[in-house]
Amino acid sequence: MFRSIILLVTSLLLPTVANASTILTSFKPIQMIVVELTQGISEPDVLMNSNASPHDYALKPSDVKKIQQADMVIWFGRDLEASFVKVLEGKSNVLTISQIPNLNLREFGSADHDAHEGHDHGSHDPHFWLGIDQVKVAAQHISAELIKLDSENTAQYQANLNQFIINLDAKKRSITEQLHPVKDTGYYVFHDAYGYFEEDFGLNNLGYFTVSPERKPGAKTLISIRNTLKRDNVQCVFSEPQFTPAVIASVTRGSQATKGQLDPVGSTINVQPGSYFDFLQQLTESYTDCLAKK
């Protein structure tokens, strides 16, 4: 009896902590954005590990359990995380970024449609996190949904969103200035992931090896790229840490092009407040380091 009284008194003296909503994101770039929106409230979890690519990830039983226990799950949609469709699509606790109104997704060109043939990809570029305007629209929608879920923290969500947009505008200005000296320099990328970033900053992407990284480029594509590297003024060919095909080494052999690396998911960056901006800065420096080499 005395033990029960002590436990009761102790529990009354302890400060009450509100139960924060459990927010689960599909992969790292989305987690980095949501971290900015939930500061001081909760810490979003993530399904894929840091160096995983959403293009070819396979869900584990532990992932399914996490999804079932989350208050909100945020993913892009079937055009990026195809393996998640059966588990996520149509669920009431799921926010699908590709369905956000006015997101203004980039359409793939006709050549891209040919490359997509036989694969479960849509006609729009899913790499929204590489576009400043797309991230703004997504953040505003995500923040509104978080407020619906957790109205007690409305003021904090709104303050976080406002600060995030201010920081985005400042980052866009600094990146524009940093990339200006190299924006006309030609280069190739491994896969067609960087269109939003390249359009934002006016970069001179001459082409790519493949639209989707799980699809190997064909012989005609490689011959065409090899001829372009020998003939035209191509400064750099970028690979990716998630996919390091030998084709890049073989295609660049005999050309003057420098090899660089772009990491489209920020695999080496620790997720914390400010990490999305660290990711944008890392990407910017990857471009400038390779494109400015003499």
Residue 45: the pLDDT is: 96
**What is the arithmetic mean of pLDDT over 130-142?**
98
**What is the arithmetic mean of pLDDT over 234-262?**
82
Beta strands in the chain (DSSP E): 23-25, 45-46, 72-75, 94-96, 186-191, 204-210, 234-239, 258-261
Quick one: pLDDT band at residue 153, thresholds 50, 70, 90?
Answer: very high
pTM of the entire predicted model: 0.86
- Across the beta sheet with 186-191, the strand order is 204-210, 186-191, 234-239, 258-261
Q: Are 139 and 37 in contact (CB under 8 A)?
A: yes
**What is the arithmetic mean of pLDDT over 9-29?**
64
In one-letter notation, the amino acid at residue 179 is L
Pick the closest to residue 222 from 205, 207, 243 (CA basis): 207
Q: Are 247 and 188 in contact (CB under 8 A)?
A: no
Segment 161-207, tens digit of pLDDT: 999 999 999 999 999 999 999 999 999 998 899 999 999 999 999 98
**What is the arithmetic mean of pLDDT over 214-225?**
78
Residue 217: the pLDDT is: 75
Residue 109: the pLDDT is: 59
Residue 2 pLDDT exceeds 50: no
Residue 116 pLDDT exceeds 80: no
**What is the arithmetic mean of pLDDT over 207-217?**
75
Residues 6+ apart with CB under 8 A from 207: 188, 189, 225, 228
Q: Are 73 and 94 in contact (CB under 8 A)?
A: yes
CA dihedral 166, 168, 170, 175 (to 10 degrees): 180
10-19, 85-94, 260-269: range with lowest mean pLDDT? 10-19
Q: Are 192 and 208 in contact (CB under 8 A)?
A: yes
Quick one: pLDDT band at residue 119, thresholds 50, 70, 90?
Answer: very low
Average pLDDT, the chain: 85
Residue 271 pLDDT exceeds 50: yes
**What is the arithmetic mean of pLDDT over 266-282?**
96
Quick one: pLDDT band at residue 23, thresholds 50, 70, 90?
Answer: very high
180-184, 241-245, 277-281, 283-287: range with lowest mean pLDDT? 241-245
Residue 250: the pLDDT is: 77
Quick one: pLDDT band at residue 141, thresholds 50, 70, 90?
Answer: very high
Higher pLDDT, 243 or 6: 243
